[in-house]
Amino acid sequence: MRRWNGWGEEARDYPLPGGARRFVEEAIGPATPPRDAGLEDVLAAVPLSRLPAHPLIETGALPRLMHARGQSLPDWLALRTGRIGVFPDGVAFPASSAEVRDLIRYAAATGTRLIPYGGGTSVAGHINPSPGDAPVLTVSLARLNRLERFDEASGLATFGAGVSGPDLEAQLRARGMTLGHFPQSWELSTLGGWIATRSSGQQSLYYGRIERLFAGGVIETPAGTLDVPSFPASAAGPDLREIVLGSEGRLGVITSATVRATPLPARETFRAVFFPDFESGMAAVRAIVQARLPLCMLRLSTPVETATTLALAGHARLIGALENLLALRGLKNGKCMLILGYTGSKALGRTAIKEALSLTKAHGGVHVGGTFGKQWHKGRFRTPYLRNTLWEAGVAIDTLETAVAWERVPAMIEAIESALNGAIAETGERIHVFTHLSHVYPYGSSIYVSYLFRLADDPDETLRRWQLLKARASQAVVAQGGTITHQHGVGVDHAPYLEAEKGALGLGAIRAVCEYFDPAGIMNPGKLVE
């Protein structure tokens, strides 16, 4: 069963190794486990539904609670304390496009606001109902999850948009294919959610972001059905896929989507390389990506993130041996870890890995083989479970991300980390900040920052700490000329910063598109554009 107030399946856990607990305590001080609200009390507080009856809509307390919040830190605070405030008035589980059209007509006729819901893994407030007089209906796509069509010759697969990462991959695997889209939230997030938030998977260097994988689809909007055909390429004016990508539920409900699948790779390998410092690591990564080597992943951690990863990994004996080996090669404090991945044919793999490792060596890199890379790959969808363990120990973790051209990367990291450190100092608390380059391009990189701080006894104080940290870091991103989000989307939390990047005219154009498809403003109001 899925956790109602945390990440993932109840049966799965990520206990903190003993050394990791000490590491966190040294970084931010001893933390006190919070007093979480109980499920029964939270269910008892769900208010009466304001929705007129409809055969497709459930108004029971449990489904409304399970669809009330996403996975951002404010969402966690709301769920863990039971102070949720606004619930959807009902949840519908349509099984066809016709049922979705019926729900849109119902919403228009009753003045109801409608929120499309995929896996609920949003970390920017996308699926939260806004307060107001109008009733709110959440439309879960969970039952629209089948493979509808598979064009073997072209590798084009059409799925119901509510299909989750594991279900989508299982259906493609059975046909010898893969989509290769693996965001860290893969276990729970859905195809429709990936498209609506412009998401990026961990192996995007090879497979591409969702923008490249999304070939076309069907979107049910209040103005009618938008059917975007799947061409290999087209010069027929502006591409309508670009309107759907990142639409965050504002235009309508994506009911089905055609994606570009790839045959399963003959070889996949992940290697770890350590550098004496971040500058050499970054120079190597830039050289590799600009040489256009066919790798699937280059993920470079700063010294603090490298130390944190090694501390949280457990396996004390293995890590001790690794540290000794690296010390013998002159890599001690300040060393940085790169995880380098290859996906593709065996023959190409030999050349690509050899060439990439030779570029890392030219920049002082020490290749430590496949063991550490294999461990990373094995645990990559387990890491989010650490959020549950840390919270229960009294520690909040949040992440933020941006992307900039290569020349701005060092200044951007410095600006975000300083902003977070400066903000926490004002609260008298401590913070542990660590960063990596997660998705790299020939012309720049995304920057992914994680931070840990202590939960306060008073949840309002925890929220105040987070708001200060988020605001200062977002202001730093804007001041340094970065995008407010490389992969998480806009939702509510990033909306105030959108105009800085789109300009007033650009934002006006986005607003006009929303109004064109949804003249009465019933679709997910308050998200993306205010």
Ligand X SMILES: Cc1cc2nc3c(=O)[nH]c(=O)nc-3n(C[C@H](O)[C@H](O)[C@H](O)COP(=O)(O)OP(=O)(O)OC[C@H]3O[C@@H](n4cnc5c(N)ncnc54)[C@H](O)[C@@H]3O)c2cc1C
Answer yes or no whether residue 183 interacts with ligand X by CB under 6 A.
yes
Could you tell me where the beta strands, DSSP code E, fall in 170-266?
177-178, 214-221, 224-228, 253-260, 262-263
In sequence order, the β-bridge partners of residue 221 are 224
Answer yes or no whether residue 118 interacts with ligand X by CB under 6 A.
yes
CB-based burial label for 149 (10 Å; 0-12, 13-18, 19+): exposed
In degrees and rounded to multiples of 5, residue 51 shows phi and psi of -85, 135
Task: CB nearer to ligand X: give 135 or 349.
Answer: 135
Q: Shortest Cβ distance from residue 526 to ligand X (Å)?
A: 10
Task: CB nearer to ligand X: give 86 or 357.
Answer: 86
Looking at 66, 107, 161, 397, which residue binds ligand X (CB under 6 A)?
161
Answer yes or no whether residue 141 interacts with ligand X by CB under 6 A.
yes
Q: Shortest Cβ distance from residue 203 to ligand X (Å)?
A: 11
CA nearest to 72, candidates 489, 525, 530? 489
SS3 357: helix
Q: Per CB under 6 A, which region of 119-127, 267-275, 280-288, 332-340 contacts ligand X?
A: 119-127
Answer yes or no whether residue 122 interacts with ligand X by CB under 6 A.
yes
Answer yes or no whether residue 116 interacts with ligand X by CB under 6 A.
yes
528 and 510 Cβ atoms separated by less than 8 Å: yes
Answer yes or no whether residue 129 interacts with ligand X by CB under 6 A.
no
395 and 24 Cβ atoms separated by less than 8 Å: yes
Q: What is the DSSP letter of 527?
A: S
Answer yes or no whether residue 205 interacts with ligand X by CB under 6 A.
no
Task: CB nearer to ligand X: give 82 or 217.
Answer: 217
**Residues in region 236-275 near ligand X by CB under 6 A:** 248-249, 253-254
Task: CB nearer to ligand X: give 250 or 363.
Answer: 250
Q: Shortest Cβ distance from residue 196 to ligand X (Å)?
A: 3
Assigned token pair, 317: 């004996």
Q: Per CB under 6 A, which region of 58-66, 79-87, 114-122, 331-339 contacts ligand X?
A: 114-122
How many residues form the binding site for ligand X (CB under 6 A)? 37
Looking at 14, 159, 194, 497, which residue binds ligand X (CB under 6 A)?
194
Give the side-chain half-sphere CA count within 13 A for 266: 6
Answer yes or no whether residue 189 interacts with ligand X by CB under 6 A.
yes
Task: CB nearer to ligand X: give 121 or 343.
Answer: 121
Vertex 326 angle, CA 323 and 329, to 5°: 150
Distance CA 283, CA 479 (A): 25
Distance CA 116, CA 252 (A): 8
**Residues in region 50-89 near ligand X by CB under 6 A:** 70-71
Q: Shortest Cβ distance from residue 337 to ligand X (Å)?
A: 18
Q: Shortest Cβ distance from residue 333 to ligand X (Å)?
A: 29
Q: Shortest Cβ distance from residue 525 to ligand X (Å)?
A: 11
Task: Give the CB-nearest residue to ligand X.
Answer: 193
What binding mask, one character per residue, do residues 478-507 give for ligand X by CB under 6 A, x or -? ---------xxx------------------
Distance CA 167, CA 187 (A): 9
Task: CB nearer to ligand X: give 187 or 417.
Answer: 187
359 and 285 Cβ atoms separated by less than 8 Å: no
Could you tell me where the beta strands, DSSP code E, fall in 261-335?
262-263, 267-275, 297-301
100 and 224 Cβ atoms separated by less than 8 Å: no
Answer yes or no whether residue 384 interacts with ligand X by CB under 6 A.
yes
Task: CB nearer to ligand X: give 129 or 349.
Answer: 129
Give the side-chain half-sphere CA count within 13 A for 332: 3
Answer yes or no whether residue 93 interacts with ligand X by CB under 6 A.
no
Task: Please list the helix, strand and coil fractions of the chain in percent, rounded to the nearest 5, in that order.
Answer: 40, 20, 40
Q: Per CB under 6 A, which region of 184-192, 323-331, 362-370, 405-413 contacts ligand X?
A: 184-192
Looking at 49, 81, 308, 524, which residue binds ligand X (CB under 6 A)?
524
Judged by phi (left if over 0) then psi (alpha if -120 to 50, else beta), residue 87 lies in beta
Task: CB nearer to ligand X: give 56 or 319.
Answer: 56
Looking at 90, 120, 129, 246, which residue binds ligand X (CB under 6 A)?
120
Distance CA 46, CA 240 (A): 40
Q: Which residues bind ligand X (CB under 6 A)?
A: 70-71, 115-123, 126-127, 141, 161, 183-185, 189-190, 192-194, 196-197, 199-200, 248-249, 253-254, 384, 487-489, 524, 527
